[in-house]
A and B are shown apart, each in its own frame.
Chain A
Amino acid sequence: MKSFWREYRENWVAVVALAVVVLVVLAALTAPIFAPQDPYDLAILDLMDARRPPGYVGSGEYTHWLGTDAQGRDLLSAILYGLRISLQMGLVAGAVAMTLGATLGILSAHLGGWVEALVMRVVDLQLSFPAILLALVLVAVLGQGKTQLIIALVAAQYAYFARTAYGAATAERQKDYVEAASATPLPSWRVVLRHILPNCLPPLIVVGTVQVANAIALEATLSFLGLGLPPTEPSLGMLIANGFPYMMNGRSWISVYPGIALILLIVAINIVGDQIRDQFNPRLRK
């Protein structure tokens, strides 16, 4: 772990990216304490404060550093709360997709036969099918809401984990230590859990980081299209969509600031993921 960090430190871009991710997560976690306003409390919103530019001091007697949106919401607070929802969706969907995908992948590598043929066939098919379309269809069929959205995101993403876990597990199975473990009277599920699974984790973690970023982007896209979460809980994608009509007449901040928050988060997670991948990749090791 220590040597991992020492190597990680060498790439300053990755360190900055990691700092950004940590900061954003902290900001999202502490939003109820530090946000100037509770953006979901409709009672305190004043339409007189609507669509004010950054730096405006509204009826609440405090400065709206990033301006206000069409309902008079403080944009900074809305972004902080939006980050909470985006991160929550991304992490939950990523974790569920990883568990499901890893289970399917390792099981089909372990069991072989028709399970392997069926599962990997479906996974391959899905990998060549655009994830966004699948998510779109599911949201259309299931309706709006957090659970439905997570189901759609998981369905669109589990295949990546399944393929990765399957590849790693098939490679591990051929190694001597697995054969040695199988020769002992241990039950085979123990061999899978204690020996194969831990060795499949590094590639899964790499795919996991990138997929969390993808889930956040996908959720934002769906919300932007008006198919994500209900409007009572605006995620970053919906904040951007809400500001879109005002962009044409010069009030671009309503869309731009949530967008910047979203991009910072996604790009930072991707850079961290890239660095971890490079460090796990034995071919690139000195």
Chain B
Amino acid sequence: MRPLSMPRYCTAMLGFIIQRLLQSVGVMLAMSALVFVGVYAIGNPIDVLISPDATQDIREDVIRRYGLDLPLWQQYFAFLGRLLSGDFGRSFVFDIPVLELVLARLPATLELALASVLIGAFIGIPLGIYAGYRPEAASSRAIMAVSVLGFSVPTFWVGLLLILTFAVNLGWLPAGDRGPLVEVFGIGWSFLSAEGLSYLILPALNLSLFKLAMMIRLARAGTRETMLTDTVKFARAAGLSEFTILRRHVLRLISIPLVTVFGLEFASTLAFAVVTETIFSWPGVGKLIIDSITSLDRPVMVAYLVLVAFFFVVINLVVDLSYALLDPRLRRGRAA
């Protein structure tokens, strides 16, 4: 197979990008339809838009304004139009625009998710490479046992154990809330002060557990395979130290699948943040959605679902595109 000339390669890439973009739009439309049917059509839409203690005049006004007397498909398009202009309605509980509410909570969740993804990468990958490098060692078996537990034990239970051990019994770390925030560009962050960081450690560790387990498995499997290849044999013959081989050759070869899984995992991290935030009363979006479900604050539910679907679609798109750019086989395969 001959590599493509530059213009033909660009056309192929462009076609691929357009195809994936259209697909993403399709997924977003499907998700919004699901959310619409789920929250608007099954539940009473009036409950979604007006608080229960509104007067009859306001009710009728809102019904007319949001076109609730129109057929369902027309309502769906109106719903889409409102979403596109960023109008998610007002929260019943907080009485502020939902978008504002969600955006105000978003930094806390992003901070937590990023911290846990970093823990997963910087602890999980070295451990996994080690376990793959010495698969028979007792320490490697211990690492694998931890990763099995990380996969099967529910997140909330690990969170409880972390609180019980480090917050209640040992009293080393706080559990609950974000601690003091340092403001940068008007947004507060926990990780910028030492005290704030101590509030971040336990929830981030809890949320990272699943990713840690997965990174260990992937890195181990990749390393075991790579260690048998000619690349490693030649590197050894060239007199490179084992550490250099692992860092320069093995790590580089196993990084492509790791990056992909990583990107995809970020979306599920946001989802699992729901559990972690509830246990550690971390004031992020995940805690907001649980609170809004229990208090039937439906506009917030809709906004959260659309937002997560959007995140999920965008991340999938970015991962697919960067994969196509990174992996030369995919490039050529597409043209052939």
Contacts and interface: CB of A to CB of B under 8 A. Distances in A.
A37 interface: no
Given A125-B27, A213-B152, A227-B293, A140 B271 contact: no
Nearest to B157: A259
Interface in B146-177: 148-149, 151-157, 160-161, 163-164, 167-168
A226 B43 CA distance: 20
B160 A259 contact: yes
B312 to A, nearest CB: 6
Contact of A130 (B156, B167, B268, B316): B268
B275 A141 contact: no
A243 to B, nearest CB: 9
B168 A248 contact: yes
B168 A263 contact: no
B12 interface: no
B157 A240 contact: yes
Contacts of B301: 140
Chain B interface residue bracket vs A: 35 or more
Nearest to B163: A247
B164 A267 contact: no
Interface in B265-291: 267-268, 271-272, 274-275, 278-279, 289-290
A140 B272 CA distance: 16
Interface-central residue, A133, A220, A225, A259, by most chain B CB under 10 Å: A133
Nearest to A125: B27
A247 B156 CA distance: 14
B152 A217 contact: yes
A33 to B, nearest CB: 29
Given A133-B274, A247-B168, A270-B148, A224 B153 contact: no
From B157, B164, B275, B316, residue with most partner A Cβ within 10 Å: B157
A247 B153 CA distance: 20
A225 B278 contact: yes
Nearest to A217: B154
B39 interface: yes
A205 B39 CA distance: 35
B160 A266 contact: no
B168 A252 contact: yes
B93 interface: no
B264 A128 contact: yes
A259 B161 CA distance: 10
Contact of B154 (A226, A247, A248, A262): A262
Interface of B: 27, 38-39, 42-43, 148-149, 151-157, 160-161, 163-164, 167-168, 264, 267-268, 271-272, 274-275, 278-279, 289-290, 293-294, 301, 305, 308, 312, 316
Given A128-B316, A224-B275, 20 more contacts: A130-B271, A132-B271, A132-B272, A133-B308, A137-B38, A137-B305, A138-B38, A139-B293, A141-B43, A217-B154, A220-B154, A221-B154, A224-B156, A225-B278, A227-B294, A240-B156, A256-B164, A259-B160, A263-B157, A266-B152
